[in-house]
Structures are given as structure tokens and as C-alpha cells.
Structure 1
Amino acid sequence: MTDQKPGAPTALTVTTTTDSREKAEALARGAVEARLAACAQVTGPVTSVYHWKSAVETAEEWQVLYKTTEGRYAALEAHLLAAHDYETPEILAVPVVHGSAAYLEWLETEVGTS
């Protein structure tokens, strides 16, 4: 693994969830086709337990993990907010601290930096 180079686009992993495999795959495909993410992985089902409107809820959900860059984050977030059917969808970005140089180069090539 290598550290990201100073000045290089920062790689991110971005997570969202939805209530069906079909919706998760559509969200994943839409972002990759728009080149907002180089890759999106769908996993699930997962059990989510959360507070919503003064109650504790439990739901079966599917998780989508996107690989993108800091420069594409705003466009990916806007895309997810427009495409998602949740009132308040989970959209969380985490910086990639380490990664293989070849993978990070591929990611940047696929999504660009703007």
C-alpha cells in the first residue's frame, strides 16, 4: 500500500443504503455510468437499527459503497440526492488513507478530478 501523494486527488469511499437490491443496483449503475464513481459495490441485506421520527426502527437494507475522488464528491452527492427515494438518505464519505498506486491511478482516470 502507498500513501496518497501530496496534491493528488484524494480518493474517497462513499456509502449509502436503500431498501431493495434493485434500487441499490440502480443507484450504483447510475453513478458509475455518469463517471461519478469508478466502482460501486452492492452488499446486503444488512439490518439497520436507527432513530427516525422519535422511534427506534429496524429495517433490512442494501448498502452501496462507491469509490470516487474528492473532486467528484459534490456531483455524486447531488446525483444520489436526486435519484434516492429516502427522505434523508445516508450519504457518508470517508477519505482513503492508503491504497495501491495502480488502483488509485485507475480510480482517478475513471472519474477525473472535476
Structure 2
Amino acid sequence: MPDHARPHLAPSGAWPENFTRHRRGTNCPMCANDFAADDIGWGLLVRRGEVSNSYLWRSGQVRGYAVVIYTGRHVAEPTELDEGGRPRSGATSSPWAAAWRRSTSR
């Protein structure tokens, strides 16, 4: 199994060392995926959209989880999308998402 398909777990309660860099887009493992492929190693394409793709996660601790990845640019969280990108990607803004973004940007 490719290395990118195996999650690197942080100690309980701790963020991985590279979390902040990945969140900013530096060497982001999600952005490194080949979005033209039907199989990106850890997930199988369910739907290819105009600005995002949906995948069925098949590895790690959350097998069977559906993931939607915005393919226009690096976005760590849906509240980072401009108003034009939200409806087209299916992402919505919510108070909990904005609070999560604030809590992880420290």
C-alpha cells in the first residue's frame, strides 16, 4: 500500500507535527493527488464535479467515509471558499466550521 494511503497518527490529543504547514497548503497531501484519476490510492472516485471531486475513502480508520475535495486551489476548510465557490462545490458555511478554523489557526 502506498505511504500516502496510511495515515500517520499523532499521539493522542496532539496534532501531527506538519498539521499547520499542510493546513496552509505547504506540501499538502490532498493537493498532491491526481484528480484526473479514478483511483487516488486512498479513495475511489464517486463523482467528478465542476470544482470538486467526491471519493469513497477505502483506507485508514474511516473506511467508507465520503470525502469531497475542492480541486480549484488549496482549501483547508469550506469557510475558505468564496461565495461563488460554495454553492458549486456543495460546501456551506456554518458557525461550528468557522469556530474550528479559528481554533486550528493558532
TM-score bracket, normalised by the shorter chain, equals under 0.3
Higher relative contact order (CA 8 A, sep 6+): 1
Give the structure with the larger helix fraction.
Answer: 1
Q: TM-score with structure 2 length normalisation? A: 0.27
Q: TM-score with structure 1 length normalisation? A: 0.26
